[in-house]
């Protein structure tokens, strides 16, 4: 009889350890999915990728909570608590990225796409009127201003749309 109870206890310990390992493997798998969805969002600004990342985060929170329930030792519980804190930090950073992306879209579409063409059209108009009236100095200055405006728009679009960091210095220089 004592042999059966020893085997039963050992098998129970083994089963509990396997449950923790399986839960940890699921968490690791879903962290990879989360990273993929976040990378996809960063690269494409896809709302679908953002929704997928939030869904994976919910699954991860449930898996971590399950891990806390089935953990057998304080060390295992601490590891799951650390995972929960790391996940919270990742999601907090992701929310900031979403906010920055929304701000970038607002800046690009609400300000630059409105002000840039208007400014260029105004300089073209000044250039044409100056040329017709015979004021070559004003026409040359308007032409130079138009050229600088177009460069600033190009570099700003490179930074905002393509995220070309090298162009950011040129944008700064264009507005000095």
**pLDDT confidence of residue 11:** 44
Contact 57, 34 (CB under 8 A): yes
In the predicted model, residues of the chain with pLDDT beneath 50 are: 7, 11-12, 14
**pLDDT confidence of residue 102:** 85
How many C-beta atoms lie closer than 10 Å to residue 75's C-beta?
8
What does the alpha-carbon distance between residue 119 and residue 126 come to, in Å, rounded to a whole number? 11
Alpha helix ranges (H) inside the chain: 2-44, 47-70, 74-106, 113-133, 136-161, 166-174
In a 3-state reduction of DSSP, which class is residue 54? helix
**pLDDT confidence of residue 14:** 46
**pLDDT confidence of residue 73:** 83
Predicted TM-score (pTM) of this structure = 0.62
Residue 134 dihedral angles phi and psi, to the nearest 5°: 85, 10
């Amino acid at each position: 009889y004592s042999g059966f109870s020893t085997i039963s206890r050992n098998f129970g310990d083994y089963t509990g350890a396997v449950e923790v390992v399986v839960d940890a493997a699921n968490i690791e798998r879903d962290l990879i999915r989360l990273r993929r969805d976040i990378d996809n969002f960063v690269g494409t600004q896809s709302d679908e990728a953002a929704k997928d990342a939030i869904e994976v985060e919910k699954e991860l929170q449930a898996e971590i909570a399950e891990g806390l329930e089935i953990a057998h030792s304080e060390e295992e519980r601490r590891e799951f608590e650390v995972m929960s804190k790391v996940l919270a930090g990742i999601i907090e950073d992701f929310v900031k990225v979403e906010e920055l992306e929304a701000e970038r879209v607002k800046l690009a579409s609400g300000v630059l796409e409105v002000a840039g063409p208007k400014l260029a059209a105004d300089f073209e108009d000044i250039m044409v009127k100056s040329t017709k009236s015979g004021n070559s100095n004003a026409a040359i200055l308007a032409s130079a201003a138009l050229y600088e405006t177009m460069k600033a728009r190009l570099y700003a679009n490179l930074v905002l749309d393509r995220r070309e960091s090298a162009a950011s210095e040129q944008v700064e220089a264009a507005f000095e």
